[in-house]
Amino acid sequence: MNQPLKPERYKGAFIYKYRSVERLEWLKEILLDNKLYFPKARELNDPEEARPPLTSASLEALIMMLTQQTAAAKPFLNNQGLAHDAAVIDFNARRFGPGLVLSQIMPILYQQFEDFRIYSLSKRCDNLHLWNRYAGVHTGYCLAFRNDEAFLPAFEVRYKDIALDITDPEQLQPYFLFYKTKSWRKEEEVRMIAQRNADANVTFEPRLLTRLILGREIAPTAAATIRAWAGDRKPPLTILSER
């Protein structure tokens, strides 16, 4: 498997968000308050989100990492106590093997990884797969944002299988958040990431939202509500219909 690499910033002029009208009040907050909700990774629809397979460079590297982490977590121990803990770690790791050790570490790391906040967007406004899956089979809408320096940076998602070597400190950078399996490649995703302790609501400059595209099957009442909100927006928002 591949190891996660540093993500590449998306250079396209615009980025797009598809939504259904099921919770239309969420759109009102975007249009009138200029706020985006960044969900935690665990709130997204991919059950493997932020849960990469774990590996280690070697059994020895895994033992060394665990020994160092245990020592750092117990600064009150003297040399004898540290040596005892190191011996226990070494014995158990060799007895049970790296697979079982990694399976015990996995829930702890995944809980931390899943606290990252992710805002998923796409590269195109004419992606039929996204109109069907996320915009209620053309009954929803698509927001167009300017991919500007004033916005949070958007990075391309790579559709490759990876494994995270937890004994390599560099791989513990959240680069793995920009990978998904090939089964998701139709989404042509770009994403923004907020840190684990960040506010869920992110404010953006009004000029960055340039237009809203109504799905060709949107209900007239929903379309009227959206047009009214768009008219109240400052500056007013251009409304288009899906071709």
Strand partners, 192: 119
Alpha carbon distance 243, 241 (integer Å) = 6
Over residues 1-30, the mean pLDDT reads 94
Using the 8-state DSSP alphabet, how is residue 196 labeled? Answer: T
> What pLDDT, on a 0 to 100 scale, did the predictor assign at position 2?
82
> What pLDDT, on a 0 to 100 scale, did the predictor assign at position 181?
95
> What pLDDT, on a 0 to 100 scale, did the predictor assign at position 74?
87
Strand partners, 82: none
Q: Is the pLDDT of residue 24 over 80?
A: yes
> What pLDDT, on a 0 to 100 scale, did the predictor assign at position 196?
85
End-to-end CA distance of the chain: 41
Over residues 92-96, the mean pLDDT reads 93
Q: pTM of this prediction?
A: 0.90
> What pLDDT, on a 0 to 100 scale, did the predictor assign at position 12?
96
Provide the residue ranges of all domains of the chain, joining segments of one domain with +: 14-45+117-241, 54-113
pLDDT in tens, 188-216: 999 999 988 889 999 999 999 999 999 99
Least confident of 24-33, 70-79, 104-113, 210-219: 70-79
Pairing of strands 179-180, 201-203: unpaired
- Sign of the C-alpha dihedral computed for residues 225, 227, 232 and 235 taken in this order: positive
Q: What count of Cα atoms within 13 Å lies in the side-chain half-sphere of residue 41?
A: 26
> What pLDDT, on a 0 to 100 scale, did the predictor assign at position 77?
82
